[in-house]
Amino acid sequence: MIEINLDSRSDLYSIEPIGLQTELVESLSSYLIRVAYEHNLSVGHLFNKMIFPEMNKSYLERASAYGGNRFYEKAKTVNGYMEIAVELAWTVEKLTSRDDLINLTLYNLKEFIPLRNLLKDTLTWCPDCIRTWEKDGEVIYYPLIWHLKPVEICKKHSRFLVDRCPICKKKVDIIRRQMVPGYCPNCSSILAQESESKRINLEKFRWELYVYENVKDILSINHNKIDVQSFKHTFINKLKVINEERFSNNVAGFSSHLSIPKSTLRYWLYGQNFPSLDNILKICFKLNKEILDFLLESQKLDVNIFQINDKRVINNKTKQTRKPLNYDVIEKKLIEHLSTDTPISMNSVAKVIGRDKRVLYRNFPDLCKQISRRYYDYIKEKSELRIKRLKEQINLAFNELENEGLYPSRRKIEDKINKNGVLKEKVLQDYWKFLLVQSGYEYKNRRTYLNDEFK
């Protein structure tokens, strides 16, 4: 007689991740979207009912109970190596009875690649890949490499990645409550459709190809072979040696060659900071080296093997020369903005004047602070008036529903004032609960509301 151990069953389907230990390994965010799809659940329902309760995080449980987009707005971190990525991977491993989902994040790169400028804020994809997968009946997914900010191309199809839906022209979030792999969550169009392609600059594409090849290498390498501390130490030391022997300790000349600010290069040379992935790639490109040369042979490198690469270009941006400041004209414009009917932010003022906000703050601190304060007071006043107006509408709708003999539920009040979801806003939700208490109704998780809080 065969014994079946029911305790060994997983809570979620143990779906096989795509592309493990390859350059096109699936991202964790993509895996989660696929898991929801395979269970015929929305992504939001999967998180609210299965994942968030297991993670035991109060802010996630609040988002699940009361709404809010904090988790979804920061969803790019799901594919990184910070605490949320690690805990989410471990939680889903527990629910699926798998032990390899941490490999769908950048956890293995944690010790030698800084998080700065590492992950894209929104999704990018290759329409040709999605079209091919759909045509061949293969699983549509989003590889981890597409989420890395330095990567802008699909090597297989020799094209740039796309960052907007070709139909609705909107960007696509990393994770949304309603999401299906390969389809736009905004308009439900398939992302395989062709959009306006970027005009290809051959030099730019060579650079992008170099980036892709190097990122591919570090994603697919066996990370047990990497001596992290040796890599960091050797990388900085070689920069020092090159600066000394090739540029005679002229940091300005070296930084100009690398197309990197002098202050940033000094931080690296003094060991106060370590370059981000995009800067590591720029440096290696300029020095005619691959990242793996540092990662795997860091102890054997000799400065003599470096060849300064002057022919290749990293980007085709023209270097802008600094315009001299016309102090009188700028001061006059700043003063004018202090007397406009409708205040605007310092960011907007800087754009109107055509100067960087930091430059304006450095040279005209008092005027800038006055403009900023004036705008802050204006926004605060508008916000308070908006809340006051909405409270009046809520109160009116509440009384009308009571007069009609109906329970003044959140949904009914929102329908009454024609503002769907408005009571998810905490201050307004608290005001509605205060009205319930005042009218003698009971509700879940009742708390005490002071009368003067809502006067």
Reported as a single tens digit per residue, the pLDDT across 399-416 is: 999 999 999 998 899 898
* pLDDT for the residue numbered 325: 78
Q: What is the model's pLDDT at position 271?
A: 82
pTM value?
0.65
- Residue 307 has a pLDDT of 47
pLDDT band at 229 (very low <50, low <70, confident <90, very high): low
Tell me, what's the pLDDT at 443? 54
Listed range (182-191, 232-241, 314-323, 336-345) with the worst mean pLDDT: 314-323
Mean pLDDT of 161-182: 92
Q: Is residue 3's pLDDT more than 50?
A: no
Within 67-151, residue ranges assigned H as helices are 70-73, 83-96, 127-135
Q: Are 96 and 13 in contact (CB under 8 A)?
A: yes
Task: Average the pLDDT over each of 24-33, 57-66, 347-356, 400-409 and give the range with the smallest value.
Answer: 57-66
The mean pLDDT value for 265-288 works out to 86
Look over the chain and give the mean of its residue pLDDT values, rounded to a whole number.
Answer: 83
Question: Measured between alpha carbons, how far is residue 428 from residues 390, 414, 425 in Å?
Answer: 8, 11, 6
The candidate with the shortest Cα–Cα distance to 23, out of 144, 161, 150, is 144
Check residues 450 and 177 and name the one with the higher pLDDT. Answer: 177
- For 64-121, write each residue's pLDDT tens digit: 676 677 788 888 999 999 999 999 999 999 999 999 999 999 988 887 788 888 999 9
Question: How many whole angstroms separate alpha carbon 336 and alpha carbon 371?
Answer: 10
Residue 251: which region, alpha, beta or left (left: phi > 0; alpha: psi -120 to 50)?
Answer: alpha
Is pLDDT of 306 > 50? no
Q: Give 199's pLDDT tier (boundaries 50, 70, 90).
A: low
State the pLDDT at residue 15: 93
**pLDDT tens by residue, 233-248:** 878 888 888 888 888 8
Q: Where are the beta strands (DSSP E) in 116-185?
A: 153-154, 159-160
**What is the pLDDT at residue 304?**
42
How far apart (Å, rounded) are the C-alpha atoms in residues 170 and 181?
16
Three-state secondary-structure class, residue 123: coil
Q: What are phi and psi of 252, to 5 degrees?
A: -65, -45
92 Cβ contact partners less than 8 Å away, ≥ 6 residues apart: 12, 28, 31, 32, 35, 51, 98, 101
